Each structure stands twice: as structure tokens, then as C-alpha cells.
């Protein structure tokens, strides 16, 4: 297991995102446990690794995304730690069609935010929706990333190592102030109970409890708040290229998915029934 921790240190030095490092290391450790401690991963050849992957996927009932992450972790581990290139084409899953995101209405988002009595919980969920953040971006936010003079929020080293600057909405300030005065965080904007950063698991739990209190019946995840942010901006007529920059997307193609769920374009289309 020691080489996996050395692998984590290497990825840290190379400035990989914190969530990526933890995810890759977690996949490697779990995979090694599946292999057994008497079969170290770095002692297996290409065939043996592929064979083990073909067994662990059904045994653990791994989701498509998890399977891809596991293969990505193993591939990078061998490349960085052992200078070995493996062929994973035989066990790499085919991409399945991307479903359209489930979109919360503005009424539903308001109900979720208003269901939060705890000021920290409300501030976290409001930040995600109000700025369209990924959960990892919220957790990584530091107090110094909030520029009150310029009314901006600096999102640093996000997905694909990208930074971006977001406008600080006026409606977010009272929520932020109420939270800050009560909790007085020191470095990270949202601290854990006994840790400098809030945990992803706890953040997801906060969201699901808020949804239950708000009586949300749709199947949604924490990321649905980011989907809602993008869709509601599009509903208001915001240019898709601006939304792309606000979300930090590399490709406009990724942002265009919201054109399929926005009400702005669909509501303007007449039905043939209207012509009868």
C-alpha cells in the first residue's frame, strides 16, 4: 500500500485536483484489497490486470463511471510510478448515451434553500446554486477567494486545472454575512466539524435532507443545483457562450445540453394542434 501513498504525493506535486487524488488512491487501495495482499498490483502483467478488472466489475457491481475511474487510476499509476504502458481497451466500457439532466424549477430551488435552518447548510447550498459550482469547488473555496471590493469569487484549480472568476451576486451577500458572523471560519470558507474543509459526503447529506424537507419528489443530486443554475440562466436569455465561461466548461458542446431542457425555446414553439 505504501506505493499508493507515494503515488498520492506525486499527484499532489503535479498539482492534480484534491478530489482526483483521493478518488484515484481510493480506487487503487480497494482494487488491491480485491486482489489480495499476496498479489501486489505492480507485480501483475497486462493480461492479469485486465483479468482482475473483468472480475471486480461484476463482483462489486461497479457503475460505468466507476469502472472508467478505476482503469484511469491503474493506468496513471503504472505510467507514473513504474513507467509502464498497459492496454486496457478490452475492459474499457463503451460510452452510454448521456441522459438529459433533471432540472429543478426556481420554486423548487427556493424551497430547498428555505428548508435549511442551519446557516452553514443554507450558505453552502446557496453558493452552489448562486454561482453554479461543483461540490469540489465549493469545498476548496478559501476566505481569500472572495473579493468583496471587486464583488468577485475566484475559483482556483478546478476541473482540468482551470481557474475562473465569477461575479458575486448581491443576493448572496446577506446569506454569506449571516453564516460568517456565526461560524467565523479561519482559512477555508466552509470548514468541517473537526477538519479544515467540509467533507463531500456531509455536503451531499445536507442536500438530501434539504430536499426531503422541501418535499422534492424528483430524483436529484447535489449536482442538480448546478444544472438548475445553468438552465435558469438560459431561461432568462443569457448567451450560451457566457454560461459556458461561468460554468468553466472546456467545450461549448457540454454547455449546449441545456438547450434541450430550457423552457425559453420550447415555450415559444407552437403545437400543430393550435392551427386546427
Cell digits for 9? 504525493
Report the candidate in 42, 182, 205 with the shortest Cα–Cα distance to residue 125: 205
Whether residue 27 lies in the annotated active site: no
CB-side neighbour CA atoms (13 Å) of 146: 20
Task: Provide CB contacts within 8 A for 118, sequence distance 6+.
Answer: none
Catalytic residue among 86, 129, 229, 258: 258
Which 3 state secondary structure label does DSSP give 167? strand
Whether residue 212 lies in the annotated active site: no
Measured in whole angstroms, the distance separating CA 17 from the mean position of its chain's CA atoms is 12
What is the crossing angle of helices 2-13 and 64-82, to 10°? 90
Catalytic residue among 156, 159, 164, 204: 159
Q: Containing H/E element for 153?
A: strand 152-155
Catalytic residue among 27, 120, 121, 226: 226
Catalytic residue among 120, 227, 244, 249: 249
Whether residue 232 lies in the annotated active site: no
Report the candidate in 189, 199, 227 with the shortest Cα–Cα distance to residue 101: 227
Whether residue 249 lies in the annotated active site: yes
β 152-155/146-147 pair status: antiparallel
- Rounded Cα distance, 135 and 137, in Å: 5
Whether residue 223 lies in the annotated active site: yes
Whether residue 227 lies in the annotated active site: no
| Backbone φ, ψ for residue 165 (5° rounding) | -110, 130
Cell digits for 179? 453564516
Catalytic residue among 120, 121, 122, 134: 134
Catalytic residue among 154, 204, 223, 264: 223
Q: Which single residue is written with the C-alpha cell 418535499?
A: 215
Q: Are 111 and 214 in contact (CB under 8 A)?
A: yes
Sort 197 into a burial class: Cβ within 10 Å, 0-12 / 13-18 / 19+. Answer: middle
Q: Residue 166's beta-bridge partner residues?
A: 153
Active site residues: 134, 159, 223, 226, 249, 258
Amino acid at each position: 500500500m505504501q506505493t499508493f501513498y507515494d503515488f498520492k504525493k506525486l499527484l499532489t506535486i503535479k498539482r492534480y485536483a484534491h478530489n482526483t487524488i483521493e478518488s484515484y488512491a481510493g480506487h487503487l487501495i480497494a482494487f488491491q484489497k480485491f486482489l489480495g495482499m499476496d498479489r501486489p498490483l505492480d507485480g501483475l502483467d497486462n493480461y492479469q490486470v485486465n483479468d482482475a478488472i473483468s472480475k471486480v466489475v461484476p463482483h462489486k457491481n461497479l457503475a460505468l463511471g466507476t469502472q472508467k475511474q478505476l482503469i484511469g487510476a491503474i493506468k496513471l499509476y503504472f505510467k507514473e510510478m513504474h513507467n509502464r504502458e498497459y492496454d486496457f481497451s478490452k475492459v474499457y466500457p463503451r460510452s452510454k448515451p448521456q441522459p438529459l439532466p433533471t432540472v429543478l424549477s426556481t420554486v423548487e430551488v427556493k424551497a430547498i434553500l428555505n428548508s435549511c435552518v442551519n446557516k452553514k447548510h443554507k450558505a453552502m447550498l446557496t453558493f452552489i446554486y448562486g454561482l453554479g459550482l461543483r461540490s469540489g469547488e465549493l469545498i476548496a473555496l478559501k476566505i481569500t477567494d472572495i473579493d468583496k471590493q471587486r464583488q468577485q469569487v475566484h475559483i482556483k484549480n478546478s476541473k482540468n486545472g482551470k481557474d475562473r472568476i465569477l461575479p458575486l451576486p448581491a443576493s448572496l451577500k446577506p446569506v454569506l454575512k449571516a453564516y460568517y458572523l456565526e461560524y467565523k471560519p479561519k482559512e477555508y470558507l466552509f470548514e468541517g466539524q473537526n477538519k479544515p474543509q467540509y467533507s463531500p459526503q456531509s455536503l451531499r447529506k445536507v442536500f438530501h435532507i434539504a430536499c426531503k424537507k422541501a418535499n422534492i419528489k424528483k430524483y436529484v443530486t447535489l449536482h442538480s443545483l448546478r444544472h438548475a443554475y445553468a438552465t435558469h440562466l438560459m431561461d432568462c436569455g443569457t448567451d450560451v457562450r457566457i454560461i459556458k465561461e461561468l460554468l468553466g466548461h472546456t467545450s461549448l458542446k457540454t454547455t449546449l445540453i441545456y438547450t434541450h431542457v430550457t423552457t425559453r425555446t420550447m415555450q415559444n414553439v407552437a403545437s400543430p394542434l393550435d392551427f386546427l
